């Protein structure tokens, strides 16, 4: 079992042993991955700053996943972007160019939830729709240990940046975050 130095006061168990703490698409995707932990949390503390303060996990080891949408010739294009919580995704620069759209913005909450099968505030790159690019900032990919969403607000995944960078459709991009 992996020892997570960033866990703070969390009780981390192998994710495969607690699929009840995962959104369904996340549980399916994690079946193919090793070395991923999950920890139950208070859903009211799912937002990054509150989570880090309550559980003693470093903010710099948290990564946030945002769903971005843009249109080109009437077609809506989606992507997920994963950046460290201490940074922001470059939506109207790097992501807009990668999606080849005129304008990119955060997808509406209800649409992001419906398309991912995950809860708002818990969306994670693990288990996203197969045709979406997963854009990962280089700093995330380089991190040995990270805390990310689990698909629900009541838990968090502990995972390495290398595992995230190895997901299907993952693209590591230097400068994705500012």
- Residue 5 domain-assigned? no
- pLDDT of the chain, 178 residues: tens digit per residue: 578 999 999 999 999 999 999 999 999 999 989 999 999 999 999 999 999 999 999 999 999 999 999 999 899 999 999 999 999 999 999 999 999 999 999 999 999 999 999 999 999 999 999 999 999 999 999 999 999 999 999 999 999 999 999 999 999 999 999 9
- Residue 178 domain-assigned? no
- Residue 2 domain-assigned? no
Whole-number pLDDT of residue 32: 87
pTM assigned to the model: 0.94
- Residue 130 domain-assigned? yes
- Residue 6 domain-assigned? no
- Residue-number span of the structural domain to which 88 is assigned: 12-173
Strand order across the 37-40 sheet = 12-14, 37-40, 155-159, 146-149
Whole-number pLDDT of residue 1: 56
Cβ burial of 71 (10 Å; 0-12, 13-18, 19+) is middle
Q: Can you tell me the distance from the alpha carbon of 106 to that of 81, in angstroms, rounded to the nearest whole number? A: 10
- Residue 23 domain-assigned? yes
- Residue 95 domain-assigned? yes
Residue 36's alpha-carbon distances to 15, 24, 50, 54, in angstroms, are 6, 16, 22, 22
Looking up residue 122, the CATH number of its domain turns out to be 3.90.960.10
Domain count, the chain: 1
- Residue 43 domain-assigned? yes
């Amino acid at each position: 079992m992996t020892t997570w130095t960033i866990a703070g006061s969390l009780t981390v168990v192998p994710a495969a042993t607690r699929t009840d703490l995962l959104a369904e698409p996340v549980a399916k995707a994690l079946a193919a991955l090793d070395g991923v932990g999950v920890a139950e949390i208070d859903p009211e503390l799912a937002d990054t700053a509150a989570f880090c303060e309550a559980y003693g996990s470093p903010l710099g080891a948290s990564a946030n996943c945002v769903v971005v949408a843009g249109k080109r010739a009437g077609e809506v294009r989606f992507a997920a972007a994963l950046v460290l919580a201490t940074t922001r995704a470059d939506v109207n620069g790097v992501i807009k160019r990668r999606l080849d759209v005129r304008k990119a913005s955060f997808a509406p909450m209800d649409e992001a939830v419906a398309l991912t099968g995950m809860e708002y505030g818990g969306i994670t790159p693990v288990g996203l729709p197969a045709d979406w690019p997963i854009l990962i900032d280089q700093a995330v990919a380089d991190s040995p240990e990270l805390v990310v969403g689990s698909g629900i607000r009541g838990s968090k995944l502990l995972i390495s940046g290398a595992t995230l960078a190895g997901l299907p459709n993952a693209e590591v991009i230097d400068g994705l975050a500012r």
